[in-house]
Structure formats: structure tokens, C-alpha cells
A and B are shown apart, each in its own frame.
Chain A
Amino acid sequence: GQQLNQSPQSMFIQEGEDVSMNCTSSSIFNTWLWYKQDPGEGPVLLIALYKAGELTSNGRLTAQFGITRKDSFLNISASIPSDVGIYFCAGNPLRSSGTYKYIFGTGTRLKVLA
């Protein structure tokens, strides 16, 4: 099935460092969602983005809706051990506006070294 390109695939960082990851698509999206998933659990919604260029924060997390509407970025500042997990982007294609048919990225696996 279709998945969005997400990078990096995985990253090991030191506690306190900032983290950046991104998600790209060949199609235009009207909504971007960022989720975090812990092993054996369902994804938890972190941030939702609705307009091109929008920058939204949730605590130490900041996400941006790319101006081209084909990409999105997530930054985590001052990482802590509990940030470990898999981060997924999910996009709602323009042709599916008003629905909840989301396409997910391949995931970025984050490990934080204390």
C-alpha cells in the first residue's frame, strides 16, 4: 500500500539534543498529523496541521506544514528518555478532503541515550 517517505528511518541521540524529522509526498495534502507510537500500543496524536506554512507547537514539539503542501516537519527540542518511540506522519490527500482516509509515513524510530 501507499506510504509517505519519512526520514530519517531511525536515529540515536543524546538526552538534551534536538531532533528533526520530515515527511514528504508526491501528492498535495490538506491535513498533516503527527503521531507517536510506543511498542504494542496504538499511535497517540501529537500535533495536527491544517494550512500550508502553519507552525504549531505542543510543549517541546513543533511541527510545520510545508508551503508546497507536499511535506511536513517535526522537531523535538531538548529530548528526554521518554521521547523514545516511533514517530509517524499521516497525511489526508486533497482528493480525500473531509474524510479521515489517511496515508501514513514509514516511521522514524527514535532512541534517546541518557
Chain B
Amino acid sequence: DAGVTQSPTHLIKTRGQQVTLRCSPKSGHDTVSWYQQALGQGPQFIFQYYEEEERQRGNFPDRFSGHQFPNYSSELNVNALLLGDSALYLCASSSKLLALRFNEQFFGPGTRLTVL
């Protein structure tokens, strides 16, 4: 049973560019959440996707957008990259059906984004 997978592992971009990160949730999961983790800090919630729609959003600008596909996989897009966007981007998967009883989420290995 594959866990949460993310691609690419590492990415280097320059300011102003756009980036797309990808995530495949754990088998049987239908909800994907994205987090940004700056160096030395805890993950910060960006947004969450369920049934191909954004359901919850954290305090991130509109430059951060996403998408969820019918197979539950998801993409995170960041436009007009800033130096401060350099971070580890984590995807977490979970099951909406279990949300009210077993509110667990499982993380992928992350994508390390460096903006120069």
C-alpha cells in the first residue's frame, strides 16, 4: 500500500517564475491538504481539497492555488515566486468519511523549493 507521494523532490526556481508541485494521496484517501514549512518552523496550512474543490484555506495569498483531480491527486501552483516562498512543501492525505471520528492525516516526504 503506497503512502503519500510527492514530486518533484527538489526544485530550484528564480523570482517571478511559476511552479507546480504534485501529490498523490494514500490509497483510500480522498482529501488532500497542503502545508508550507519554512526552515526551523512547523508546517503552516495552505489549503485543503476535497471533491475537487478548495474547502479550507489558510492565510496565504492568491498566488497560491491548487487543483484536485478525479483520482484524488492534487497540484499546488505558486505564481510570481518570491524569495520568501523557499520552503518545504508538504502534502497530507486523509479520509473525509473518517474526519469526525479519526481525524488523522498522513504526510508525504515533501518538495523542497528554493527560490533564487
Q: Measuring CB to CB, which residues of chain A are less than 8 angstroms from any residue of chain B? A: 1, 3-4, 6, 30-31, 33, 35, 40-45, 48, 50, 88, 90, 92, 96-107
Q: List chain A residues, Cβ under 8 A from B108.
A: 42
A106-B42, A107-B41 as given contacts; A43 in contact with B107, CB under 8 Å? yes
CA distance A48 to B108 in the complex (A): 18
Q: Does B56 touch A at the CB level, under 8 Å?
A: yes
Partner of A100, one of B6, B105, B110: B105
For B, the interface residue count at a CB cutoff of 8 angstroms equals: 32
Q: Does B51 touch A at the CB level, under 8 Å?
A: no
CA distance A31 to B108 in the complex (A): 21
Q: Are the C-beta atoms of A98 and B99 separated by less than 8 Å?
A: yes
- B 76-112 to A, binary, CB cutoff 8 A, 1 in contact else 0: 0000000000000010101000011111111111101
Max chain B Cβ within 10 angstroms of own Cβ: one of A92, A96, A104? A104
Q: List chain B residues, Cβ under 8 A from A44.
A: 107
Q: List chain A residues, Cβ under 8 A from B6.
A: 42
Q: Are the C-beta atoms of A50 and B90 separated by less than 8 Å?
A: no
Q: Are the C-beta atoms of A45 and B56 separated by less than 8 Å?
A: no
| Smallest CB separation, B101 vs chain A (Å) | 8
Q: Are the C-beta atoms of B42 and A107 separated by less than 8 Å?
A: yes
CA distance A30 to B101 in the complex (A): 11
